[in-house]
A and B are shown apart, each in its own frame.
Chain A
Amino acid sequence: MVAAPDPRGGLAAHAPTQAPGEQALAGDYARSLLSSLGIAVSEDLAPAAEHPAIAAARGGLTVLSGCADGPARLCPLPLASCADGALAALAALAGSRRAAFDDLRGSDLLGLRAAFNGLGRNGAIAPGGSCHLLPTADGAIALNLARDDDWDLLPAWLETAVAPDWHAVAAVVAGRTMHDCVERGRELGMAVAPRVPVPSRPPPWVRGIEVWHEAAPPLSAARRPRVVDLSSLWAGPLCSHLLQRAGAEVIKVESTHRPDGARSGPAAFFDWLNAGKRSVALDLRSDPGRRALRALVASADIVIEASRPRALRQLGIDAEALVRARPGLTWISISGYGRAEPQAQWVAFGDDAGVGAGLSELMQRLYGETLFVGDAIADPLTGVHAALAAWAGWCRGGGGLLALALCDVVRHCAGFDRPADAGALHARLQRWQARVERAGLQPQLPAPPRVAEAAAALGADTDAVLATPAHAAC
């Protein structure tokens, strides 16, 4: 990495007929991410310059936003370019492994699950089907009933008997306030978010909770870092998938009682995400299982988890204490809303987090339609950002505890190069729509990548991994 001035950084480099810088947004975003990590940037890391609206149309974001029987709706925020930029930044750090990212585009990650699983836009119902936007008496909420057990919470949430179907839920919610629905839902551990505007000041995309300020000597590039991935579904497994491309050894750890739910989803998507990772299954209700989990965590260079902090503490794992004790460790904590209290208790999935970040409120204002933007948008965005944070932490000799929140990552992307006011936003929307039209591009899903290898069966490598003494902890 060379700290060279960026020849394309100045506005003067762009033709005056074009809005300043838009073509180079992905590269600008990559540089801004690296600079926030304290990494000097070289000029050659930029992804191929592609207009954000073209990236959104080609990568699936646009075609997944809108009513099922209406036109696809372009969201005039550079979300697809942010995904491209984050992946380009990661590829730049991967050095000699950079070519492992050549067949992947960050913006395609946004449409990838939908492409694999045959999902499409459905207005106020997210493409995955489990998250709905519901009007309340004074606003709207996103409610995600992704787990079967979530339906059991409805009588306690609404304090009334309610039939277990969406119409009945919507009818009761319509008479409640947004605040009450969100407050009580969060207390009950439901994934519920208010439809609020994009905040005027974007939050940081990653927060260093416990950071080793005197950086340890950078670790030898010759050694592959070991990633112990305790996460499930999409964001965390995408993070470890990308780290695997960068050269890491990945061990996917699951509970025998509660394996990754995505194993029972479409196989091709699960295989694409998880092929090549070793699978360890542990009985986390037993003492030997918990001991084995702690030993695996102790052997890791990078830990990825997407649990509420108290859940891991109840298993005897204290992330803060572990990173304080071992400067070489990089710990990636993925949560809905961060590790501070009370947000650490709140649950989020990818669709509701996008609503909480402001995407649906923006679309309501621009189009007058009640819409989700993309498919579980916060998941792929967070997964690629998390991989960048993890790899940067490893490269500097240990990153400490790095916390990424689904909602904050989307807010951060939404706030990048954000127009100053509503008028400028409308102008950008028109400019971007014209740009897509000029390109003659129909919004589409990306082609699902070829899946050459199946993911390991649950626990296929448990014995082998537990029998191998880990390399010495650094």
Chain B
Amino acid sequence: MAMTALKPGARFKSAVSDAQVMVIKAPAGEHELSCAGVAMLAGADTAPDGVQADAADSGETLIGKRYVNEDESLELLCTKGGAGTLALDGTPLEIKQAKQLPSSD
């Protein structure tokens, strides 16, 4: 994935692990999502030959967790867990804290 527009609902998968995400919210313009230092893949794209995870990245992307950038203009939901730290334009994303519980259901 080169620079691309990120639309809510779009899915991306790691090129080097099982991790998969869905875009919940995204900043305008074109950006690059990466996992373990390698650009993530959209839709049916397959990983280019010979790509390797950043050996220094020991991060883990956890299923069900939401990931945000610093100003929370980007929010991703991890739909499948896997190795590697998620990053937007090279800056690692953080886990967003869990939703507040409703007062009733």
Whether chains A and B associate is yes
Q: Which residues of B contact A376 (CB under 8 A)?
A: 104-105
The answer to whether A234 touches B105, judged by C-beta atoms less than 8 angstroms apart, is yes
If the complex has contacts A159-B8, A188-B77, are A264 and B64 also in contact, measured as CB distance less than 8 A?
Answer: no
Number of residues from B at the complex interface, CB < 8 A: 23
The contact string, 1 if C-beta is below 8 Å from chain A, for chain B 51-64, is 00000000000111
Whether the pair B101, A265 counts as a contact (CB closer than 8 A) is: no
Chain A residues whose CB sits within 8 angstroms of the CB of B104 once the complex forms: 113, 117, 128, 130, 146, 233-234, 261-262, 265, 376
Given A147-B101, A152-B24, A233-B101, 17 other A-B contacts at CB below 8 A? A130-B102, A144-B105, A146-B105, A147-B102, A148-B99, A148-B100, A152-B25, A153-B24, A155-B9, A155-B24, A159-B8, A159-B10, A189-B64, A191-B105, A233-B104, A311-B64, A349-B102
Chain B minimum-CB-distance residue to A352: B105
- A260-B63 contact given A156-B23, A156-B77, A188-B77, CB 8 Å threshold: no
Question: What is the CB-to-nearest-CB distance from B77 to chain A, in angstroms, rounded to a whole number?
Answer: 6
Instruction: Flag B1-37 by CB within 8 Å of A: 1 or 0 each.
Output: 0000001111000000000001111000000000000
- Chain A neighbourhood of B23, CB < 8 A: 156
Chain A hits for B105, CB < 8 A: 128, 130-131, 144, 146, 191, 233-234, 349-351, 376, 379
A107→B2 CA distance, assembly (Å):
60
Structural contact, B99 and A147, CB atoms closer than 8 A: yes
Option from A113, A117, A258 in Cβ contact (under 8 Å) with B100: A258
Q: Are B79 and A187 in contact (CB under 8 A)?
A: yes
Closest to A149 in B: B99
A224 at interface, CB cutoff 8 A: no
CA distance in complex: A234, B104 (Å): 8
Count of A-B residue pairs with CB < 8 Å = 95
Known contacts A159-B7, A188-B77; decide if A258 and B103 are in contact (CB<8 Å). no
Q: How far does the alpha carbon of A258 sit from the alpha carbon of B102 in the complex, in Å?
A: 10
Bound together, the chains give a CA A130 to CA B105 distance in angstroms of: 7
Contact A264 B79 (CB under 8 A): no
- A264 and B101 CA atoms in complex are apart in Å by 10
Contact A261 B64, beta carbon cutoff 8 Å? no
B63 to chain A, nearest CB (A): 6
A179 at the interface (CB under 8 A from B): no
